[in-house]
């Protein structure tokens, strides 16, 4: 069954989500989107594919505190899927204060939604002028940036070049891997924010082989960038971007040039998800597993992780395992040690 792609649109109050939605709904781009909005009145366009939904957070009864889903989305998606297909994708607008976690988890935790729809990406609209303040006082604003595959840095005309650079730096500290798209009035080609395949394990590998490389190497002073020693092949390598100051959410990337032991890795990541799940917002990786010709790709949100064997390593291709975490209060040392303990051989 063909799964319909879903883009989640987040952003703090006043960042410009509604402007973007109105653009997507009114411009001619040959595609029809069903839009699930939290406040019906804000969308000025009369469109039978606009659906209002109130945030309803449900805990799944499987004993895991962080397995929360959005009951309203399960209901609305179920209804939309009854329609003879007359739209190409679904956009979900969250409230300015929404936690993107339960939205993302809905697409993994509810079997009916998972069969018929796939989460394509999370796009976060950020107000370049006000975001520095928001990041100081709002956990939600941090989380929305942390979860993003693409960040629409909006209202760039209202800030100076220095301010803009500062804002980009702040965003990068939280999420070193998202694509940042600067814009005024959300004036951005839609293909930069729709159909990104942020949760597509295959696409990560085939279209964006460098996805695990932080997009911006220009880090601030408090970044302790530990370069690995490429001459030492016996101990594997890792590199961590470790930020010790506010905000409490940050990105961390680990690299190993030695094959990892599949069973050991599974144990370690399983334990990590069980103990730190609520703090792990997003993580992805491509792994070189000892004894396997195929690349193993994984990705997760909180406790929920999926993995898949992808195309084989090519002859001459550098076999390397790369793993990135975006999370709250990440213990960089423990993660490095833990990852190193999964090396095979």
Verify binding: residue 231, other proteins, rule CB under 8 A: no
Asked if 71 is part of the footprint of other proteins (rule: CB under 8 A), the reply reads yes
Instruction: Give 110 or 168: the residue with its C-beta nearer to other proteins.
Output: 110
Nearer to other proteins, 73 or 281 (CB): 73
Question: What single-letter DSSP state applies at residue 325?
Answer: E
Among 112, 218, 225, 306, binds other proteins (CB under 8 A): 112
CB of 76 to other proteins, least distance (A): 8
- In the complex, least distance from residue 259 CB atom to other proteins, rounded to whole angstroms: 35
- Taking the C-alpha atoms of residue 331 and residue 329, their distance in angstroms, rounded to an integer, is 6
Name every residue whose Cβ is closer than 8 Å to that of residue 120 and which is 6 or more positions away in sequence.
Answer: 5, 6, 7, 89, 194, 195, 196, 197, 198, 199, 200
84 in contact with other proteins (CB under 8 A): yes
- Considering the rule CB under 8 A, would residue 72 count as an interface residue with other proteins? yes
Q: Should residue 329 be labelled a site residue for other proteins when binding is judged by CB under 8 A?
A: no
Q: Which residues pair with 243 in a beta bridge?
A: 223
**Residue 1 near other proteins by CB under 8 A:** yes
CA distance readout (Å), 286 to 72, 204, 208: 33, 9, 12
Please state whether the peptide bond connecting residue 173 to the residue before it is cis, i.e. omega within 30 degrees of 0.
Answer: no
> Exactly one of 3, 13, 14, 74 binds other proteins (CB under 8 A); which one?
74
Q: Give the per-residue SS3 of 64-99.
A: CCCCEEEHHHHHHHHHHCCCCCCCCEEEEECCCCCC
DSSP state at residue 259: P
Q: In angstroms, give the least distance from the CB of 65 to other proteins.
A: 13
Of residues 13 through 42, those in contact with other proteins by CB under 8 A are: 40
Site residues (vs other proteins, CB under 8 A): 1, 40, 48, 51-52, 54, 56, 58-62, 71-72, 74-76, 79, 82-85, 110-112
């Amino acid at each position: 069954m063909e799964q319909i792609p879903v883009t989640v649109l987040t952003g703090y109050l006043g960042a410009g989500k509604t402007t973007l939605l109105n653009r997507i709904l009114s411009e001619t781009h040959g595609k029809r989107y069903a839009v699930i909005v939290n406040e019906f009145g804000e969308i000025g366009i009369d469109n039978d594919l606009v659906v209002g939904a109130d945030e309803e957070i449900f805990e799944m009864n499987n004993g895991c505190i962080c397995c929360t889903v959005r009951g309203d989305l399960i209901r609305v998606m179920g209804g939309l899927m009854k329609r003879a297909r007359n739209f190409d994708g679904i956009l979900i607008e969250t409230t300015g204060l929404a936690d993107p976690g339960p939205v993302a988890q809905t697409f993994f935790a509810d079997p009916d939604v998972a069969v018929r729809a796939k989460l394509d990406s999370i796009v976060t609209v950020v107000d370049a002028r006000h975001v520095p303040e928001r990041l100081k006082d709002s956990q939600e604003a941090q989380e929305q940036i942390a979860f993003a595959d693409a960040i629409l840095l909006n209202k760039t005309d209202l800030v100076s070049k220095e301010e803009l650079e500062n804002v980009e730096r702040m965003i990068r500290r939280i999420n070193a891997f998202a694509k940042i798209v600067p814009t005024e009035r959300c004036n951005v080609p839609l293909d930069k924010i729709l159909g990104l395949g942020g949760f597509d394990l295959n696409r990560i590998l085939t279209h964006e082989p460098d996805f695990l490389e932080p997009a911006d190497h220009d880090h601030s002073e408090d970044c302790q960038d530990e370069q690995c020693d490429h001459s030492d092949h016996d101990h594997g390598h890792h590199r961590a971007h470790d930020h010790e100051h506010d905000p409490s959410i940050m990105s961390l990337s680990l690299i190993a040039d030695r094959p990892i032991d599949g069973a050991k890795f599974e144990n370690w990541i399983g334990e990590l998800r069980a103990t730190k799940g609520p703090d792990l917002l997003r993580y992805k990786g491509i792994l070189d597993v000892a004894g396997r010709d195929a690349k193993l790709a994984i990705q997760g949100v909180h406790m929920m992780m999926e993995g898949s064997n992808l195309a084989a390593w090519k002859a001459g291709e550098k076999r390397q395992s790369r793993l990135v975490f975006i999370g709250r209060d990440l213990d960089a040392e423990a993660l490095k040690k833990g990852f190193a303990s999964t090396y095979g051989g």
